[in-house]
Amino acid sequence: MEDLILPTKLKWHNQFTSALADSNIDGHFFLKDDFSLFSVYNHALVIHLVSLDNQFTPQHLISMQQMHLDNGIKLIHLWEDVWLNKPLQVLARISSLLGLNKRIHGRETSIKKIDKSVAVSFLNENHLQGFVSCRYKLGLFKKDVLVSVATFAALRKMNHEENYKSAELIRFAIKTGYSVVGGLSKLISHFYHLHQPNDLMTYADRDWSAGEAYHKLNFIKTNIIAPQYFSIDSNLSRSLIKEDSSTPAKVFNTGSLKYILKF
């Protein structure tokens, strides 16, 4: 990180607040125990702006998030590199959390299989973590417009029960500026009828989610996955650091929550 030229904390904070204002999202900054926090007016949402130059540990961030949750406030952790690399996707995610998107009902849509190039383009444009390898790719269309994509891993046979197959929901994303009511449920139901898995597992990124959407669909939380650490290059691209690596890291996430839906 010695050669990494970083913008000042004030600069990226100002960029962020200006972008929120342009999206008609108002709030105010405040500091609490070295945390730079932005509280959105009239919403139980606080955004923690995490600069790359920080002295936090994952437990600091987890504890801050839990303290807000105990008071009925959702807190998300927005890292500097995430904002600088994907500002449009960040704004779209925040708008979705605030219920500001245009709503489409799932019954207005139809499902089609999509090819890899379409999935890559859509997820890189509309998902904070972009596209990753998958086996199955489904698109939700309103007329001829692709409004949502879900990708799934290949089914795996499990040893704990005869003929038991488990699937994984890898990515789910909605077109920027839209919310599809019942969209995820519709895509999961379609996937089930195509492949008949016994369960479907997925993960929620703890930086952004407490798994609320999965709870509503009757997923059960089965595990809490430990935080991961990353190195970061001059382009602000992250690379996962393996547990046995000696590479130093200041960039990390707060882990993830594992969910399973039994069919």
Taken in order 64, 52, 77, 229, the sign of the CA dihedral is: negative
- CA 62 from centroid of its chain's CA atoms: 16
Distances (CA, A) of 198 to 16, 134, 252, 262: 43, 19, 33, 6
Fold of 102-180: Aminopeptidase (3.40.630)
What is residue 86's predicted lDDT score, i.e. its pLDDT? Answer: 95
Q: How many CB atoms lie within 10 A of CB 66?
A: 12
Distance CA 139, CA 160 (A): 32
Closest Cα to residue 136, out of 197, 80, 178? 197
Q: What element of type H or E holds 148? A: strand 145-152
CATH superfamily of 9-97: VSR Endonuclease (3.40.960.10)
Which ranges in the chain are annotated with CATH 3.40.960.10?
9-97
pLDDT at 248: 62
What b/e readout covers 198-213, taking b as 16+ CB neighbours within 10 angstroms? ebbbbbbbbbbbbbee
Regions in the chain scoring below 50 on pLDDT:
1-7
Question: According to the model, what pLDDT value does residue 250 have?
Answer: 76
Round the average pLDDT of the chain to a whole number and report it.
92
* DSSP classification of residue 8: P
* Torsion over CA: 6, 7, 13, 16 (sign): negative
Could you give the CA distance from residue 252 to residue 238 in angstroms, rounded to a whole number?
10
pLDDT at 2: 42
87-97 vs 9-22: helix crossing angle, rounded to 10: 50
As annotated, the residues of the chain forming the CATH 3.40.630 domain(s) are: 102-180
Q: What is the pTM of this model?
A: 0.90
Judge contact between 105 and 181, C-beta under 8 A: yes
Cα separation of 126 and 22, whole Å?
19
Looking at this protein, which amino acid is placed at residue 193? H
- Specify the amino acid at residue 177: G
CB 111 within 8 A of CB 186: yes
Q: Using DSSP bridges, classify how beta strands 164-174 and 199-205 pair: parallel, antiparallel or unpaired.
A: parallel
CA 100/CA 35 separation, integer angstroms: 26
The answer to whether 202 touches 171, Cβ cutoff 8 Å, is no
CA–CA separation, 165 and 232 (whole Å): 37
**pLDDT tens across 186-204, in order?**
999 999 999 999 999 999 9
Angle at 13 between CA 66 and CA 227, to 5 degrees: 35
